[in-house]
Amino acid sequence: MKKIVFLTGAGMSAESGISTFRDSGGLWEQYPVEKVASIEGYWEDRQLVLQFYNERRNQLPSVQPNKGHVLVAQMEKNYDVTVVTQNVDNLHERAGSTHIVHLHGELMKATSERNPNDPNCIITLKEGEEIHLGDKAKDGSQLRPFIVWFGESVPEIETAVYEVMKADILVIIGTSLNVYPAAGLVNYANENTPIYVIDPKPVQIHSNRNITFIQKGASEGMEILSAKLMMND
């Protein structure tokens, strides 16, 4: 089976009603990034940050995977599929994808503020469960969201690099490729690997590789890509 790696960003989930940070009316306008998505912001006001992610988590049950998520999951019928996502939601899982690398953490998990990447401290939260000041991780420190914030290392990047290097096809959906290290992943694809970019907005990729741009949203773009790949096989 050929291996397809999907690299997905906020645009993948936008059609499901999860507001992005970068678009007009998005979350950045309500909450400055340095306040809620940086390690410095967390130490400055833990209450604000915990509440912000409680709100995001409570929103998840009200949104559903869109057709784009479903079509990515259905690719597993004919391909060896890995999803490398910058998203912290669980929509890929709920759509049926089984091999997912979460670069920036997972909204439905919590961990230790002292040792955020200690697997013994990472727990899965139940639907509706919130994190409050005073809630303790296994090591006795404050529980915090299992999210990779600006200013923190990205532990899953090596796994993502390994997957991209093995890809026969690389598909990039809904990401502007502005945030590193995720933005650099495209450079690890084999030079002969075809790359498809699905995004309604122009995406700048400084590369002389074989790139096909599909200027559509996630769902419509995946329909077009699925048809293309069926024709090529």
* Catalytic residue list: 104
- How far is the CA of 196 from the CAs of 26, 111, 139, 175, in angstroms? 26, 35, 44, 12
Give the number of other CB atoms < 10 A from CB of residue 174: 27
What pairs with residue 84 in β-bridges?
7, 101
CA separation for the pair 195, 160 (Å, rounded): 16
Q: Given the structure tokens 């639907």, which residue do they identify?
A: 127
Rounded distance, CA 108 to CA 146, Å?
8
Q: d(Cα 215, Cα 232) in Å, to the nearest integer?
A: 20
Task: Retrieve residue 31's tokens.
Answer: 């909450």
The H or E element that residue 96 is part of is: none
Contact by Cβ (8 Å): 54, 130: yes
